[in-house]
Structure 1
Amino acid sequence: MFPKIHALCAAAACAVAASPAALAQQTLPAITITADPRADRGALTVPDTEQAIADIERIPGGVEVVPDTQFKNTPAQTVKDILERVPGVFAQPRYGDDARVSIRGSGLSRNYGNRGINMSMDGIPINTSDGLVDLFEIDPTAYRYVEVYKGANALRYGANSLGGAINFVTPTGRDAAPFEGRLDIGSFGYRKAQASTGAAGGPWDYFLTASAQSVDGYRDHSDGKEQRASGNLGYRFSADAETRFYLNLNRIRQRLPGEVTKDAALNTPQAADAEFERLDQQRNIDSLRLANKTMLRFGPATLEFGLFGVHRHVMHPIYQWLDYRVQDYGGFVRATDRRMIGGFHNEFAAGVKVHNGAIDTDQYINLTGGHKGNLAASMYDTSKNLSAYFENSFFIRPDLALVAGGQFQHAVREREDRYLSDGDQSGRRRYDNFSPKIGVLWDLDPDWQAYANISRSAEAPTFDANTFATPTSSDIEAQTATTYEVGTRGRRPGFTWDVSLYHARIENELQCLTTAPWSPCTIVNAGRTVHQGIELGAEFAVLESALATGDRVWFNANYAYNDFRFDGDPVYGDNRLPGVPVHILRAEVLYKLPGGFYAGPNVEWMPKSYYVDNANTETVDPYALLNFRVGLAPAKQGWTGYIEGRNLTDRRYIANAAAAGVATPASALFNPGSGRSIYAGARYTW
């Protein structure tokens, strides 16, 4: 949906949205270039929500800002609760806090972790240096807003992947409440408590938040406990100079129920895989993240730079007992310049990002009960990544900008094998790619934008791709793509829309195929593939003052059409790619009163089955889920609360699935969705 209107009215947690008459007065941010105003509106280093929306709408492509008003008044257990309303983002929970996220088919075949999306917290990477990312460390209720950049529209973050980037932005002491606390409870033993505080005084400001969460889980052997804390401390040297320090701590303890057969997923959905239970498979994480970001403003130009470091200790008994430590570090610098050139407005941005790291792994036999046995493997993996990018927007008319940019990416993946009894499996691969981009952004009128772009993307493999065990396992190439995109976004009185159409031609698509039960997937290059689709978001007022003065009935929906196929593959021909629905629709009818009361049903509908294997033999069946929510959100301060029911018809369905080359009814690829559930929460802001 169109980002600006999200902040105004899309969320249930908002007070009643602006009336159609008021909406008629709202205009898109002018694309006339001015000095960056953020220092006058709050923190210089962190744009507020309105400024973030104005910035993102200068990008000629599929982008979105999701403000906290959209997800603060929900259970917000996983990132699906944040991202599910963004067209083109396929986000589904797996178990506990884990979720699978794919944008335009990025990493759509993975059965663990996420790949193909550059994820950041406050603009600083949370992916490991090889590109893999876990979502356990993301606390869905801790953010002021979330930015979504699809595909090459994420150039400003140095992202160069098919999926683009997602940036989770925390509040600062200049826009946070002095105190905010919340309690949530729900089905399957869900319990969460969170508190935050923030303040500003003179040149200093700070923000702190901490949460504790536990869940028994819908499925057996899916219980988990999480404690998370994050904060930032800012110091303003002047109106044009500010620095900010970040701290993030996480402790995650999560049992894994595992994928099961389709028959088991639909007929005994709460049962875990017996082998996962026997080995007591888990994913446990202790992590610490430190970062700094500094912004300097020189009239129409800005300079932003920073450093970051991450330490993770992962204790991961699965098919073997993995014990590894991650050390990531890096830095970035980004410069922008907005000025008149020959009577024309121009905006230029360029940057460099370094993201390096190492994973020190010892791998043991996993004995019954999840106990360490003898050492089975030991390795030291290092990853080096350098990206340099630029983007220029030249306004040939005040309402029409031509955009050109490009990015060079250098990546190295190296493994030192320290367990030589089965042969030396050391190795090194290097990847160098340049990805250009051109586009156009046109304000047809103050409330209507149209855009188009052509872009390249490149994605180096993660460590689990090139194992260096054999020549065949060491020749995985980088995934590259050329994407064509057109779209429009805008508003009319009582109506907003956001529509993108894209067509991506991909070479060497990275597929993660399950080849044996209870083992990690095998990474392969798929050859030529095509990802194309439609992303549609819309919201409009159905009725106004129907039952009471000032009440309103809103209808909002987002729809994605995903046509992902092989392109003349020697084995699979033009088969559909597995792992993502062809159609997915989410729609809601919400009744709102001026005092902040809201209530209404919503549905999630997948009307057509999709395949779980390249051979197109096994499928995930269609489903429709009925949900209902009711709540009260009268103001920014004081009490708010909600009650939310999900899957009220207790439909048995498959939420997501791993992928295989050829699947059979005995293939354990499926994650069942949760049954009927009820959640309730209260939040107090002072």
Structure 2
Amino acid sequence: MTGKVSLKESSPKPGFLTPYAAENTEKVSVAGRRRTPVDRALLSLSSIPGGTSVIDAKEVLKGRNFTNADALAFQPGVFAQSSGGGDGVRLSIRGSGIQTGTNYFRSGVLLMFDGLPVTTPAGTPYELFETLGIRYTEVLRGANAFDYGGLQLGGGINYVTQTGYDAQPYQARVEAGSFGYHKEQLSSGKVIGKADYYISLTNSYRGGYQQQTQATSFGVNANFGYRFNDRISTRIFFRYRQTQNGYPGYLTRDQILDNPKQAQALYVSLHARRIQPGSKWYGDMTTIEIDDHSRLQLGFDYQDAPIDIETGTSASLWGYKTIAGVLKYSRQDVIAGHKSDTLFGIDTYTDLDAWRSLRVRSSTGLYAGLPVGFMLHHATYGGTDNYFHIRNNTEIFHNFWLTAAGALGFVQRSTSVTYPTQSSIGTSSVNFAPRGGFRYVISPHVEVYGNVSRSLQPANDWQLLSGPVYTSGPAQNLNSGGVALKNQTATTFEIGTTGNYAQNKWSLTYYHSAVHNELLSVMTPLSQLYGNATYSNASPTTHQGVEFSLETTLLKWGAGSKLSLRQAYTYQDFHYNHDAVFGHNKLPGIPQHFYQGEIHLDLHNGFYAGFNAQVSSKVSGSYDDTYFAPSYHIFNANIGYSWLKKHREIFLSFNNLANTHYASIVVPGYIAAGQQLAVMQPGDGFGIFAGVSVGFD
């Protein structure tokens, strides 16, 4: 489900329609039915003058749910691709984070659980993002994540978990299929008086399509809510997840076309892998309805994300402990006869304890003669992000709303090398990000919108460790110091329309971003081995694109049977303006054209079937734009049956029916100069997957 929605209210109450505002059994009817959590989310986001969408987990659960690439499919403007079945999904919105590979924290998008940030000064640790246990997901592209404090170029994604109000008392789900894949979930949720709870346990294993990509995981997702009275409620969250993913390295274009199952021999011999031994996330959100027109939300979270990266001859051990806080005050008024709603927010994220230690893992090759466990390098990191933002929507005349907003950002980053020598570097800045927009509901079926916004994206704290390297000794080729990276900023113009008319629901957005100091990096064989890719600020660049989605009901018959078509198309033009080396070259790493389409059959008795296609244009693998991953198109099919009103479902999925060999992820090198660079990771070949879900009241 994408775009905005008309739910018989042309002027909704955006500040008061969060998931927690309606965690009761109040019977509010929408088009003759009770409003669902997804309905409320769509209504809340409909006040934003820009590109947003909501993903209903019930639709996603009709097929395989292994990674977030499955969960984020069919979202215009969102490029989410997985390789090897691991959690390190390549995620980019409007060109955010295109320089970041699959073994790094995510950059350029604010990622949240239930409105609480998971993103830290280090970026976003991705292992906590289990796809099961989610009720719906909000996607806010670009500056449209402003109300959440999301000032990054890519915007924000908010995963909203199930609660006792929308979960089954007992639920079991099993998925299994090709490449030795299986995944299990047990969950329970219930309302008990003024309290409710939800808990989900997941476990998964995959042997791997490609050599050296075995993946395992175990996770817990739980929350507990309590309503003290009609105006005060709180919800406590806990997430835990441990994962282990094999690391195959990267392949060249010809290697993928010839045999995508192969891995780089070096990483096979090293039994390369990435281990998240147990990441924990604790949070709380308390909501106070001050009166019928104003609300206060207070939230905080703490996370502990240890990492053990064993992909080379050294082991890279990381420790990240961070804390975050959120405050939001929203109210509605009538000023001189005009409806107005205002939101004030404070969002803060801070490193408590952040470090990385490199130790010898193999006493051969690079470190012959050194004992296993010998310390090669140690660095500490620091960072804090503090954002103060205010936004007002005012209805100037009937169904025409103006948005005015602004944010102050106080950002600090630092990195220090403490062994084998000592050095340190730090940056700090004060930034202002204004935003203005309009939204006009022309009719109950058609809306147009536009905005001009400023975005801000600081470097991840560890990216500052991109300075000079040691030229001798055990730490040779490791960074001896940092570099003061500038904040990436952009001014974005966006205009679009959304609506629902004549069996068609659409969303169409054009955006143009003038980007300064874009944070880019390159990958080389040496950087892969040492894990010290170089980051720098680019000369001015331009990001522009079109985000389009269309859902069409082709045919209806009987008591609820229909044939429908859904489509999502993304055009992305990211290029240098006048770079001294690369001129007007396109930025590498992401396709210019990306399309997903599915024709879907739903019968009134619960049977469903779908056939879909994913099409990608070629992707540049180097900054000189002379080396490309080829274009591709893959086809998938899915059939299933859902027992009506019994919370039982079975499905059978067929992925990559033609067994196409293709590169799903490209992390660019610098200059190819006619050579093939090993910068690509393959997508899965043909696979069959089945699943069953059973719920009990």
TM bin (shorter chain): over 0.9
- For the Cα contact (< 8 Å) 2:606–2:644, is it kept in 1? yes
Q: 2:284 aligns with which of 267, 270, 292?
A: 292
Higher relative contact order (CA 8 A, sep 6+): 1
Q: 1:163 aligns with which of 142, 154, 158?
A: 154
1:156-215 Cα distance to aligned partner (Å, 9 max, x none): 111111001101110111221111110000110110010111111221111111100010
Name the residue aligned to 2:356. 361
Deviation at 1:43, TM superposition (A): 5.7
Mapping of residues 337-356 of structure 1, within 5 Å: 337-356=331-350
Q: 1:536 aligns with which of 528, 536, 548?
A: 548
Q: Distance in 2 between matches of 1:368 and 1:222?
A: 24
Q: 1:496 to 1:468 in 2, by over 3 A?
A: closer
Name the residue aligned to 2:562. 552
- For the Cα contact (< 8 Å) 1:266–1:672, is it kept in 2? no
Q: Distance in 2 between matches of 1:350 and 1:92?
A: 35
Deviation at 1:544, TM superposition (A): 2.9
- For the Cα contact (< 8 Å) 1:35–1:300, is it kept in 2? no
Q: Distance in 2 between matches of 1:161 and 1:172?
A: 29
Q: 2:646 aligns with which of 637, 657, 663?
A: 637
1:410 and 2:422 aligned: no
1:123 and 2:118 aligned: no
Name the residue aligned to 1:109. 99
- Give the residue type in structure 2 aligned to 1:434: F
Q: 1:224 aligns with which of 215, 221, 243?
A: 215
Name the residue aligned to 1:233. 224
Q: Distance in 1 between matches of 2:266 and 2:486?
A: 33
Give the TM-score of the pair, scaled to structure 2: 0.91
Deviation at 1:360, TM superposition (A): 2.5
Q: Distance in 2 between matches of 1:649 and 1:239?
A: 56
Q: 2:51 aligns with which of 45, 62, 71?
A: 62
Deviation at 1:372, TM superposition (A): 4.2
1:140 and 2:152 aligned: no
Deviation at 1:543, TM superposition (A): 2.5
| Bigger mean CA deviation after superposition, 460-469 or 649-658 | 460-469
Name the residue aligned to 2:520. 511
1:454 and 2:435 aligned: no
Deviation at 1:57, TM superposition (A): 1.0
- Give the residue type in structure 1 aligned to 2:298: F
SS at match of 1:238: coil
| Bigger mean CA deviation after superposition, 183-192 or 309-318 | 309-318
- For the Cα contact (< 8 Å) 2:2–2:507, is it kept in 1? yes
Mapping of residues 179-258 of structure 1, within 5 Å: 179-258=170-249
Name the residue aligned to 1:332. 326
SS at match of 2:147: helix
1:328-372 Cα distance to aligned partner (Å, 9 max, x none): 112110110112111110010011111101312221123179994
Name the residue aligned to 1:441. 439
SS at match of 1:418: strand
Q: Distance in 2 between matches of 1:162 and 1:42?
A: 32
Q: Distance in 1 between matches of 2:210 and 2:117?
A: 32
Q: Distance in 2 between matches of 1:80 and 1:368?
A: 38
Q: 1:623 to 1:400 in 2, by over 3 A?
A: same
1:567-601 Cα distance to aligned partner (Å, 9 max, x none): 01111111111011111111111122111211131
1:448-467 Cα distance to aligned partner (Å, 9 max, x none): 11100000001110123212
Name the residue aligned to 1:11. none
1:115-147 Cα distance to aligned partner (Å, 9 max, x none): 1011111111222333x2232221112100001
Deviation at 1:549, TM superposition (A): 6.7
- For the Cα contact (< 8 Å) 1:247–1:288, is it kept in 2? yes
Q: 2:635 aligns with which of 622, 626, 636?
A: 626
Q: Distance in 2 between matches of 1:220 and 1:563?
A: 34
Q: Distance in 1 between matches of 2:121 and 2:428?
A: 14
- For the Cα contact (< 8 Å) 2:424–2:481, is it kept in 1? no
Q: Distance in 2 between matches of 1:444 and 1:388?
A: 33
Deviation at 1:472, TM superposition (A): 9.2
- For the Cα contact (< 8 Å) 1:279–1:366, is it kept in 2? no
Name the residue aligned to 1:21. none
SS at match of 2:659: coil
Deviation at 1:633, TM superposition (A): 1.9
Deviation at 1:94, TM superposition (A): 2.2
- Give the residue type in structure 1 aligned to 2:171: E
Name the residue aligned to 1:8. none
Q: Distance in 2 between matches of 1:33 and 1:634?
A: 35
Say how many residue pairs are matched: 659
1:360-401 Cα distance to aligned partner (Å, 9 max, x none): 222112317999441111122121111111111011123011
Name the residue aligned to 2:474. none
1:226-276 Cα distance to aligned partner (Å, 9 max, x none): 001011111111111101111111111111111111121221211111122
- For the Cα contact (< 8 Å) 1:234–1:244, is it kept in 2? yes
Q: Distance in 1 between matches of 2:79 and 2:432?
A: 28
Mapping of residues 583-594 of structure 1, within 5 Å: 583-594=593-604
- For the Cα contact (< 8 Å) 1:278–1:368, is it kept in 2? no
Q: Distance in 1 between matches of 2:153 and 2:114?
A: 21
Q: 1:666 to 1:473 in 2, by over 3 A?
A: farther
Q: Distance in 2 between matches of 1:273 and 1:43?
A: 54
SS at match of 2:71: helix
Q: 1:498 to 1:614 in 2, by over 3 A?
A: same
Deviation at 1:31, TM superposition (A): 1.5
Q: 1:456 to 1:616 in 2, by over 3 A?
A: same
Q: Distance in 2 between matches of 1:27 and 1:294?
A: 28
| Bigger mean CA deviation after superposition, 304-313 or 143-152 | 304-313
Q: 2:501 aligns with which of 468, 488, 492?
A: 492
Q: Distance in 1 between matches of 2:379 and 2:15?
A: 50
Name the residue aligned to 2:75. 86
Q: Distance in 2 between matches of 1:84 and 1:431?
A: 37
Q: 1:473 to 1:280 in 2, by over 3 A?
A: same
| Bigger mean CA deviation after superposition, 435-444 or 175-184 | 175-184
Name the residue aligned to 1:9. none
Deviation at 1:443, TM superposition (A): 0.5
Consecutive unaligned residues in structure 1, runs of 5 or more: 6-25
SS at match of 1:321: strand
Q: 1:174 aligns with which of 159, 165, 175?
A: 165
| Bigger mean CA deviation after superposition, 237-246 or 377-386 | 377-386
Q: Distance in 1 between matches of 2:550 and 2:544?
A: 20
- Give the residue type in structure 1 aligned to 2:23: G
- For the Cα contact (< 8 Å) 1:426–1:468, is it kept in 2? no
- For the Cα contact (< 8 Å) 2:355–2:379, is it kept in 1? yes
- For the Cα contact (< 8 Å) 1:427–1:468, is it kept in 2? no
Q: 1:34 to 1:424 in 2, by over 3 A?
A: closer
SS at match of 2:361: strand
Q: Percent identity?
A: 27
Q: 1:324 to 1:43 in 2, by over 3 A?
A: farther
1:543-575 Cα distance to aligned partner (Å, 9 max, x none): 333xx7753211111101111111011111111
Consecutive unaligned residues in structure 2, runs of 5 or more: 26-34, 469-479
- For the Cα contact (< 8 Å) 1:636–1:685, is it kept in 2? no
